[in-house]
């Protein structure tokens, strides 16, 4: 608890350009949660180097991501928006937690297996202990809730296991966090293959809508989106392509699938795709404009970065000092 509010932690990696999936599945929810909780939203750059990165590119993407958090509507005065690498407590706690995590547990992580297969030439120890750093992120702020996608639930489970193991030995040190899956647990699919999720690392640029795509590009991508053969706008399992477009349309307009079916009753895919494209373009427009303004205001963003790193560091140190004491490190002499 901070000032009577429960604590929320989440983060995103600055790898690739954010997609509509990241926005509707994560960022937009974050904004909705920011009144109810004391929120920490991190750009998790320490996690990013578990796969090889170009330094200049990483720095640029990280800054863009932090700016995008604000452009999406997160008020940086209320929400602690910061770079993970600016708070050394993450790595310090991570080391300690490494000593309370078993190889066998980490071996079961499906993300590690997937990434190891994808980056077979660089299966480094950081990639293996990635979930421990993620546990440190969460536990450092005594987070009560962690909004994540389904793919991260296993990491949240191991976080809880590590915290419970630590608490069982040393007493109640860590808050045990709960996952928070968005209201509908929305999952946006690829526009080219509705069996896959829309992802920022998809090689096919037509599969994803990027948050910075202009209106023409957005409409063109929706026109090309893979649809089905019924030729009617119906929300059903037999039409995964159309169902995905209906999900997107509903997430942007606030309408329900039933209302959408009625609205497009008797109309073809063409009309519907056009409407989805327009709905998405107008959903993203304010964000893009705000982003454009923010990037120009270097001093403002720098100030946010500085202030929020200090705030995060304050809370991080509180937990870290407690943990260091519990495990038996000598106290600092002033």
Task: Determine whether 60 is an active site residue.
Answer: no
Residues 198 and 20 sit within 8 Å (Cβ to Cβ) = yes
What angle (nearest 5°) sits at the alpha carbon of residue 22, between those of residues 18 and 29? 135
Return d(Cα 228, Cα 250) in angstroms, integer: 19
Among 26, 209, 276, 301, binds ligand ATP (CB under 6 A): 26
Shortest gap between Cβ of 201 and ligand ATP (angstroms)?
4
The reply to whether 267 belongs to the active site is: no
Helical residues (DSSP H) of 75-152, grouped into ranges? 89-98, 103-107, 110-118, 125-128, 130-140
**How far is it, in rounded angstroms, from Cα 164 to Cα 176?**
7
Q: How far is the CB of 47 from ligand LTN (least distance, A)?
A: 5
Query: Any contact of residue 65 with ligand ATP (CB under 6 A)?
Result: no
If one asks whether residue 71 binds ligand ATP (CB under 6 A), the answer comes out as: no
In whole angstroms, what is the distance from residue 276 CA to residue 284 CA?
12
Any contact of residue 177 with ligand ATP (CB under 6 A)?
no
Which of 189, 197, 221, 273 is an active site residue? 197
**Partner in contact with 137, chosen from ligand ATP, ligand LTN, none, beta carbon below 5 to 8 Å by kind:** ligand LTN
From ligand LTN, ligand ATP, none, interface partner of 186 (C-beta below 5 to 8 A by class): ligand ATP
SS3 content of the chain, % helix, strand, coil (to 5): 55, 10, 35
How far apart CA 24 and CA 149 sit, in angstroms, is: 11
Q: ∠270-274-277 over CA atoms, to 5°?
A: 140
* 201 lies in the site for ligand ATP, by CB under 6 A: yes
- Number of Cβ within a 10 Å radius of residue 136: 27
Is residue 252 near ligand ATP by the rule CB under 6 A? no
| Min CB(46)–ligand LTN separation in Å | 9
Q: Which of 22, 50, 101, 244 binds ligand ATP (CB under 6 A)?
A: 22
Supply the residues annotated as catalytic: 115, 197, 200
Name the site residues for ligand ATP (rule: CB under 6 A): 12-13, 15-16, 19, 21-22, 25-26, 148-149, 186-188, 197-201
- Which residues of the chain form contacts with ligand LTN (CB under 6 A)? 9-13, 44, 47, 134, 137-138, 146, 148, 152
């Amino acid at each position: 608890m901070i000032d009577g509010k429960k604590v929320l932690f989440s983060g995103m990696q600055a790898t690739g350009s954010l997609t509509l999936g990241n926005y509707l599945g994560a960022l937009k929810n974050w904004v909705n949660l920011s009144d109810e909780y004391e929120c920490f939203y991190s750009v998790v750059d320490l996690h990013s180097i578990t796969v090889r990165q170009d330094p200049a590119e990483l720095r640029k993407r990280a800054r863009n991501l932090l700016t995008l958090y604000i452009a999406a509507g997160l008020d940086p005065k209320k929400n602690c928006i910061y770079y993970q690498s600016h708070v050394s407590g993450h790595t310090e706690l991570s080391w300690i937690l490494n000593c309370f995590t078993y190889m066998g547990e980490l071996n079961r992580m499906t993300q590690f297996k997937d990434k190891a297969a994808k980056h077979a030439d660089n299966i480094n120890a950081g990639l293996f202990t990635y979930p421990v750093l993620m546990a440190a992120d969460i536990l450092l702020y005594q987070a009560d809730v962690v909004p994540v996608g389904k793919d991260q639930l296993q990491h949240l489970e191991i976080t809880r296991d590590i915290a419970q193991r630590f608490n069982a030995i040393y007493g109640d040190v860590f808050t045990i966090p709960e996952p928070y899956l968005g209201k509908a647990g929305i999952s946006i699919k690829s526009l080219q293959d509705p069996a896959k999720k829309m992802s920022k690392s998809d090689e096919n640029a037509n599969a994803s809508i990027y948050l910075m795509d202009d209106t023409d590009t957005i409409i063109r991508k929706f026109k090309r989106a893979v649809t089905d053969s019924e030729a009617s706008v119906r929300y059903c399992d037999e039409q995964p392509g159309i169902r995905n477009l209906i999900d997107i349309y509903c997430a942007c307009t606030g309408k329900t699938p039933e209302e959408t079916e009625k609205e497009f009753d008797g109309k073809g895919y063409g009309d519907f795709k056009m409407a989805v494209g327009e709905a998405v373009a107008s959903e993203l427009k304010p964000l893009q404009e705000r982003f454009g303004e923010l990037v120009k205001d270097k001093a403002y963003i720098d100030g946010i970065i500085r202030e929020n790193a200090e705030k995060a560091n304050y809370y991080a140190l509180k937990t870290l000092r407690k943990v260091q004491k519990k495990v038996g490190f000598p106290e600092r002499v002033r």
